[in-house]
């Protein structure tokens, strides 16, 4: 109850663009597409990794200060944001001359499933919805996170945008996804913490779109979102 009260206070929503009715009518939804980082998993791990851990290791390797490393990497990262490179472990390993996959393992203890996620996934399976994980994460990151969380067992399908050679931020990604794995966008729900991903999916025709109000548990909840938002999955738990 405490969480639900908090969530109502923070829920600021309803863009004129969206057709999502809230609360959701689960009888209108067959397929549920779920993002991983910042949606099912706490984004704190990724934020800490890129903002603290990589600059620290970069500074050690390149004999510079942590502050200088952060400043330099901020610019380097910004140039690739939203592209497939941004999510590519191999690309950053080469660019930064660091073993990014290994560095990710060094702080694996910070990988955390967000509250109510397992209960939500179990309920979706009990109701026979099709449940797909659709992520921009590189296979190496995905493998590590599934190893650490055990979430893999809940999904009918796991799709890496790298396999389609297109990030989720591009409307064409959703065309390619549907071509390879048919689904009815009018009866599909996408939950993703990244607004530009929701925009692209909406342009393609995905009807039900939700975002997260607090992707990183150590950052204050967002006060404004362009799509209906939830703090935790207990707010949209379907009944049996």
Interface positions with Mg ion (CB under 5 A): 35, 37-38, 193
Provide the minimum distance between the beta carbon of 194 and Mg ion in the complex, in angstroms, as a whole number: 5
Provide the minimum distance between the beta carbon of 168 and Mg ion in the complex, in angstroms, as a whole number: 9
- Going by C-alpha positions, the residue among 223, 187, 237, 193 that lies closest to residue 207 is 187
- Which is closer to Mg ion, CB of 38 or CB of 185? 38
Task: Say if strands 188-191 and 31-34 run parallel, antiparallel, or are unpaired.
Answer: parallel
Provide the minimum distance between the beta carbon of 31 and Mg ion in the complex, in angstroms, as a whole number: 18
- Going by C-alpha positions, the residue among 190, 134, 198, 138 that lies closest to residue 169 is 198
Provide the minimum distance between the beta carbon of 222 and Mg ion in the complex, in angstroms, as a whole number: 13
Q: Which residue is nearest to Mg ion (CB)?
A: 38
Provide the minimum distance between the beta carbon of 240 and Mg ion in the complex, in angstroms, as a whole number: 28
- Which is closer to Mg ion, CB of 28 or CB of 163? 163
- The neighbouring-strand residues paired with 212 are 230
Other beta carbons within 10 Å of 79: 9
- Which is closer to Mg ion, CB of 41 or CB of 59? 41
- Which is closer to Mg ion, CB of 58 or CB of 120? 120
**Euclidean distance between CA atoms 123 and 81, whole angstroms:** 34
Maximum Cα–Cα distance across the chain: 58
- Going by C-alpha positions, the residue among 82, 86, 78 that lies closest to residue 196 is 82
- Which is closer to Mg ion, CB of 59 or CB of 209? 209
């Amino acid at each position: 109850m405490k969480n639900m009260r908090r969530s109502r206070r923070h829920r600021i929503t309803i863009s004129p663009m969206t057709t999502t009715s809230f609360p959701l009518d689960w009888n209108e939804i067959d397929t549920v597409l779920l993002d991983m980082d910042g949606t099912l998993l706490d984004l704190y791990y990724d934020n800490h990794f890129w903002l603290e851990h990589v600059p620290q290791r970069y500074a050690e390797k390149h004999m510079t200060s942590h502050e200088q490393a952060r400043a330099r990497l901020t610019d380097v990262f910004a140039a690739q944001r939203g592209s497939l490179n941004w999510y590519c472990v191999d690309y950053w390993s080469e660019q930064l001359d660091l073993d990014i996959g290994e560095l990710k393992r060094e702080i694996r203890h910070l990988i955390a499933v967000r509250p109510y996620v397992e209960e939500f996934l179990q309920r979706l399976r009990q109701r026979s919805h099709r449940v797909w994980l659709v992520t921009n994460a590189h296979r190496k990151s995905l493998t590590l996170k599934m190893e650490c969380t055990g979430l893999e067992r809940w999904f009918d399908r796991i799709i890496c945008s790298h396999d389609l050679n297109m990030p989720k931020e591009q409307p064409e990604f959703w065309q390619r996804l549907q071509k390879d794995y048919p689904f009815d966008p009018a009866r599909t729900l996408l939950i993703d913490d990244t607004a530009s991903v929701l925009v692209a999916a909406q342009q393609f025709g995905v009807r039900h779109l939700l975002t997260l109000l607090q992707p990183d548990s150590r950052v204050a909840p967002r006060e404004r979102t362009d799509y209906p938002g939830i703090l935790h999955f207990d707010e949209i738990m379907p009944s049996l």
